[in-house]
Amino acid sequence: MGSAPIQRRSVILGFALVVLLLISAFQSTEASIHVYESDPLREVGNAYLLSGGSEGIAASDEHRSYIRFENITFWGSKTAADHQPTVDFNGGLVQVIIFEAADRDNIGGSAYGGQRSLCCTPDLAKLEGCKEGEVIRTPSATDKNWPVALNIYFRGDMAYAHMKNKKEVNIKKTGMYNLFFMTCDTRLRGMRVTGRTVWKNPGGYLPGRMAPLMKFYIFMSIAYAILCGIWVFQYARYWDDVLLLQHCITSVIALGLLEMTFWYFDYAYFNSTGMRPVGITTWVVTIGAVRRTLSRILILSVSMGYGVVRPTLGGLTTKVLLVGITYFLASEMLNIAEYVGSINDIAGRARVFFVLPVAFLDAFLILWIFTSLSKTLEQLQAKRSSIKLDIYRKFSNALAVAVIASVVWIGYEVYFKATDPFNERWQSAWIITAFWDILAFALLCVICYLWAPSQNSQRYAYMDSKGDETDDEETESLCRESPGNISLVKQDTKDGDSSDADEGEEGKRE
C-alpha cells in the first residue's frame, strides 16, 4: 500500500527531469570559445584588468595552434561619461597580454605601493627603463616575442575602441597560456569588454587538458561493451536462474556503457565545434549520477545481505532510498556545475559548496557498507554457510582495496593540485578524472565475477531454512513477515537443491 505513493512521486520526478533535459537540449554553452558580455575590468594594484581565459595549448608542426580574436570591442566607462560629460578617451591605451605560465614573472616589475607593480610609473620608467603608462613586460629568455602585448587605442571622441577582427596569435610552443585585457589609464577604470576569443589546439577546439579524455572514453566504451557482452551471454544462458540482484548489476553495466559512450560523443562534438552542447552534457552527467547512485545502493544492499541472509531490506528500505535520492541530487548538482557551463574551473568556495555534500555522503555510505558487511559475515559464519561466506570475504577484500586506493588517490590529487597552482602539468591532469572511472569499472568487474549468472546462482539466494540460527532480530522479524517459501528463486523439490545439500553436509561435518 505504501509503495503506490512512492511510485507516483518517482514518476512525477522522472517526468520533470525529462522535461528539463529536453529544454536544455536546445541550448549550448561556449567553452574553448571564450565569450565576453560587457565584462568589466577590475583594479589590481596599479592596473585594471580582465582575465580572458587560461588553457593548455599544444604546438604542432602539422596543424596550427592559435588564439583568435573576434569582434573584440572595449567600451569606455559609462559611469565616468555620466558624471563627466566632457571626459575624453582619446589616446586611451588598452593592452592584450598573452603569456605562458612559465613566463608569468615577466609581467610586472618592482614593488610599488607595497605590491608588485603591473604598470610602468614615472619612477619605474627611470629605474627599469619601461615605457610609462604601459604594462611592464620583460621578454622571455627563450623567445623575445613573448609575452605578447597587443596595443589598442581609443581614437578621436569615440567612447569605444575596436580590435582588429579575427586577428590571430600563433602558438609555437606547448604550454599553459593566459590572456588578460589590461590598461594603466585611470580614465578607463570602468571599461567593459565584448566579443570572444577562439582557442585552437592541433587536434581541434577541445582544451588541451581535456583532449586525452576523448581517447580514454573510447577505450572505456570498448571495455564496458566487452563486459556487457560477456554478462549478457551468461545472463541469457542461465535466464531461469537469474536473481534480482543480478538484474541490478545488469542495469549498472548498461548505464556505464551509455555514460562512457555519451562522454565520447560530448567531447567529439566539443572538439569539432568549440562549443559544448548543454543537452548532451546534461544527459551524460545525469546518466553518470544515476549509475553512481545505483552502484552505491547495490553495494550497500549486498553488504546488508539482501537476497542472501534476508529476503528484503524491510524497514531499512525507506532509509536506503532516501540516502540514494539525496546522493543522486548532490552528485547531479556537482556534475552540472562542473561540466554544464564554462570549461574554466569553478571558483574555490563555489566548488567546495558542491563537493562537500558528495564527500560527506560517500564517507557515510562507506561506513554504513562496512558496518553492514561485518554483520552479514557474522551471520554467515553462524549459519556455517561456507560457500556464501567465501564470496562475501572476497567481496569485502575488493571493497577494502577500493577504499584504500580511493584514499591514496585523493591524497595524490590534493598534492597534485597544491604543487601545481598555475596548471603547468595540464597534460597529465586528465589522469585525475580517469582514475575514478577505472576504479569503478574494476570494482564492477569483481562484482560481476562473484555474482555471475550460472546454474549455481541459487547458492547466492536467501533460503528460509528452519535450521538456520541468527542473532539479528531485524532479520528474524523480516522472516516472520514473509511466511511460506520466500526464496528469490524457484526450488526444485524433486531433485533437491544442490546448495542445501552442500550446506547440510558442511553443517554435519562441522
- The pLDDT tens digits of the residues spanning 167-189 come to 899 998 899 999 999 999 888 88
The reported pLDDT for the residue numbered 98 is 94
The reported pLDDT for the residue numbered 116 is 76
- Most confidently predicted of 184-188, 322-326, 340-344, 353-357: 322-326
The reported pLDDT for the residue numbered 95 is 93
| Cα–Cα distance for residue pair 207/343, rounded to 1 Å | 8
| Cα–Cα distance for residue pair 74/192, rounded to 1 Å | 6
Strand partners, 175: 57
Q: DSSP assignment, residue 60?
A: -
Q: Return the CATH number of the domain spanning residue range 29-200.
A: 2.60.120
> What's the whole-number mean pLDDT along residues 209-230?
94
| Cα–Cα distance for residue pair 197/399, rounded to 1 Å | 47
Cell numbers describing residue 88: 575624453
Domain boundaries, the chain: 29-200, 209-459
Angle at 486 between CA 483 and CA 492, to 5 degrees: 125
Model pTM greater than 0.85?
A: no
Same fold, 29-200 and 209-459: no
Asked if residue 48 lies in contact with residue 119, where contact means CB atoms within 8 angstroms, the answer is no
- Peptide bond just before 421 cis, omega within 30 deg: no
State whether residue 431 is helix, strand or coil: helix
Q: For residue range 30-71, what is the model confidence (pLDDT) as tens digits?
A: 447 888 988 899 988 889 999 998 888 988 888 889 999 999
> What's the whole-number mean pLDDT along residues 353-378?
90
Please say whether the dihedral angle defined by the alpha carbons of residues 271, 277, 278 and 280, taken in this order, is positive or negative. negative
Please say whether the dihedral angle defined by the alpha carbons of residues 139, 141, 143 and 146, taken in this order, is positive or negative. negative
Question: What single-letter amino acid sits at 35?
Answer: V
Asked if residue 383 lies in contact with residue 469, where contact means CB atoms within 8 angstroms, the answer is yes
Asked if residue 209 lies in contact with residue 216, where contact means CB atoms within 8 angstroms, the answer is no
| Cα–Cα distance for residue pair 144/140, rounded to 1 Å | 5
Asked if residue 79 lies in contact with residue 153, where contact means CB atoms within 8 angstroms, the answer is no
The reported pLDDT for the residue numbered 456 is 66
| Cα–Cα distance for residue pair 299/326, rounded to 1 Å | 16
89-103, 115-129, 243-257, 429-443: segment of lowest average pLDDT: 115-129
**E strand or H helix at 44:** strand 42-44
Question: What single-letter amino acid sits at 138?
Answer: T
Report residue 423's pLDDT band, with 50, 70 and 90 as the boundaries: confident
Please state the separation of Cα 87 from the chain's center in Å.
48
Strand partners, 178: 54, 99
- β-bridge pairing 160-162 and 33-40: unpaired
The reported pLDDT for the residue numbered 1 is 42
Asked if residue 160 lies in contact with residue 74, where contact means CB atoms within 8 angstroms, the answer is yes
| Cα–Cα distance for residue pair 425/417, rounded to 1 Å | 9
| Cα–Cα distance for residue pair 322/242, rounded to 1 Å | 27
> What's the whole-number mean pLDDT along residues 123-127?
81
Strand partners, 199: 67
Q: For residue range 436-486, what is the model confidence (pLDDT) as tens digits?
A: 999 999 999 999 998 888 776 665 555 554 444 433 433 333 333 333 333
| Cα–Cα distance for residue pair 329/336, rounded to 1 Å | 11
Closest residue by Cα to residue 256 from 299, 226, 297: 226
For domain 209-459, which CATH number applies: 1.20.1070.10, 1.10.645.10, 1.20.1530.20, 1.10.357.10?
1.20.1070.10
State whether residue 306 is helix, strand or coil: strand
Residues 6+ apart with CB under 8 A from 291: 252, 255, 256, 259
Closest residue by Cα to residue 181 from 79, 98, 80, 77: 98
Residues 6+ apart with CB under 8 A from 182: 41, 47, 48, 49, 50, 94, 95, 96, 97, 118, 135
| Cα–Cα distance for residue pair 458/487, rounded to 1 Å | 9
Asked if residue 81 lies in contact with residue 159, where contact means CB atoms within 8 angstroms, the answer is yes
Count the neighbouring beta carbons within 10 Å of the beta carbon of residue 353: 14
**E strand or H helix at 301:** helix 278-303
